[in-house]
Amino acid sequence: MPTETHGDYEIEYQGQFMADVDAWAAFVTVYGPSDNPMHRKTVIPAQRVSVEQVFASEEQAATEALRVARTML
């Protein structure tokens, strides 16, 4: 799963295929600083973003997921 570091936060983003509509959806998870370096602290649990949209490719969905995650922070 692709990740991006944004300050103290780590963003995981991806496109997930939805067979029922034959298209891709954008999903993100955001982790924040943790007292324990062996564990990540979930700040925003895995969730679908841009729920009114579906995408023709995994890459388009992942790009949208990253865009939205950046605005959340």
3-state secondary structure the chain: CCEEEECCEEEEEEEEEECCCCEEEEEEEEEECCCCCCCCEEEEEEEEECCCCCECCHHHHHHHHHHHHHHHC
- Domain range annotation of the chain: 3-72
Cα–Cα dist 17/23, whole Å: 6
**Angle value at C-alpha 17, between 73 and 27, nearest 5 degrees:** 10
pLDDT, tens only, 8-51: 999 999 999 999 999 999 999 999 998 888 888 999 999 999 99
Which architecture does CATH list for 3-72? 2-Layer Sandwich (3.30)
Q: Which two tokens stand for residue 24?
A: 């891709």
What per-residue confidence (pLDDT) applies to 38?
85
The predicted model scores a pTM of: 0.90
